[in-house]
Amino acid sequence: MTATAQPHAEVMDSSSHGSGPRPHGPRHAGPAHATRPIDDDVARTVRGFEAYGDGDWDEIAREAIGEERILVNMGPQHPSTHGVLRLMIEVDGETVTEARAGIGYLHTGIEKNMEFRTWSQGPTFCTRMDYVAPFFQEAAFCLATERLLGVTDDVPERASVIRVLMMELNRITSHLICIGTGGNEMGATTVMTIAFTAREEILRLFEAATGLRMNHAYIRPGGVAQDVGEGFTDQAREALKKVRGYLKDLGDLMLANPIFRSRLVEVGTLNLAGCMALGVTGPVLRSTGLPYDVRKSAPYCGYETYDFDVPVSDNADCYDRVVLRMEECYQSMRIIDQALERLDASVGEPVIVADKKIAWPAQLAVGADGQGNSLEHIRKIMGTSMEALIHHFKLVTEGFPVPAGQAWQTVEHPRGELGVHVVSDGGTRPYRAHFRDPSFNNLQATSLMCEGGQLADVVVAVASLDPVLGGVDR
């Protein structure tokens, strides 16, 4: 893990990179270090996991009645946009003495379903896992598939630029969801309305490029389904100007607000040792001072050619995680500006591999009726080329074979490191596709972050983890 760290004093520099006024930075600067020894944190959590083994918490609750312990269920319901999560909490007055997360209420069986669909249909499934950040699942799955196919170096440069552009736009929308819903859960509805208004600007870009606001299945093995339309780069630049203004408003509204700070500062702390023991990544890990980012440590899609920094802090609490997510939005906009320049310079270049045995055959078009094949493509395959029609039919229905083997690919998801392990038996469908979703691992920290704190802080701590249960229960 050798990502480039951005000096702490520069994280919130109001004059850097020309991105306008910046949010207030974390309170403490200094070397990255664990705030508490591992014995105080991780050992207690491990003991909590082992205490009841696989026991059902309903039985534990019945036992607790005789012991005069108070067990509280938070959920299972859909709190804001996290998903259907059940938190089982033991309290002593207002103090949380034990907390466990119960998952599985949103199970979709996506991984198993992918074994019965072609490799090209895989993105249609995995994009629906973490529905707040769909492009990252698509990209990771396609990158792994391309490694099995041996066409990683054949993916056109313009396709890689479009992938980077969409992922970084998606990173901003995901962080806006986290900040907005977290504010709403604390009673600050204005934070949510500003964040969601900013998100709308980017969702319009997604719709213009892919025909859909979410669940796009836009990134395909070998490239992307279609090129961005004429005028897209100008539309994106105008949208980013508005997003920058909304981010400034959010920073002014939240980060110096004494009520906001009192709810987040020194709440839900999780030190470096705890993160490493539990496999926690993303902004939660970087709030401990470790600048681990897959885009720097194991670059993909040409990220090594973009100029951006990995912001870190060292107080490891909920407040720092909000600040880091806002700073990551500014860093994403730096990458987006570079990607838009590259798109302007590569107009007309291909966006999918040249091998017609792999390349998605459809020529999609976004029009008044939504998204479908372009009329020119339909006229060709239906009226002038029987071979083209046969090829289109076979590739879409049967798919292309992938050489036997397995591949592992990671990307930097808004919530941390997303990993994909795909296995092929030489057929046209994955033998196995397994995702290491960051929300699944990060939720393990619920006990560590909540126990010993106040009941009201549980909501804040879980919001700072930013879990999306669609990815957890895939």
Q: What is the pLDDT of residues 261-315, one digit of tens each?
A: 989 998 889 999 999 999 999 999 999 999 999 999 999 999 999 999 999 998 8
Contacts of 94 (CB under 8 A, 6+ apart): 454, 455, 456
Q: What is the pLDDT of residues 97-132, one digit of tens each?
A: 888 888 888 888 899 999 999 998 888 898 888 888
Q: In the chain, what are the domains? A: 8-35+106-358+400-472 (1.10.645.10)
> Which pLDDT value is given to residue 78?
61
Q: What is the pLDDT of residues 178-206, one digit of tens each?
A: 999 888 888 888 999 999 999 999 999 99
pLDDT average, residue stretch 81-110: 83
Position with higher pLDDT, 229 vs 80: 229
> Which pLDDT value is given to residue 19?
42
Could you tell me the pTM of the whole model?
0.82
> Which pLDDT value is given to residue 67?
60
> Which pLDDT value is given to residue 10?
35
How much of the chain, in percent, has pLDDT values that exceed 70?
82
> Which pLDDT value is given to residue 337?
95
Give CA 225 to chain center in angstroms. 21
> Which pLDDT value is given to residue 188?
86
The yes-or-no verdict on residue 174 having pLDDT over 90 is yes
> Which pLDDT value is given to residue 216?
87
The yes-or-no verdict on residue 43 having pLDDT over 90 is no
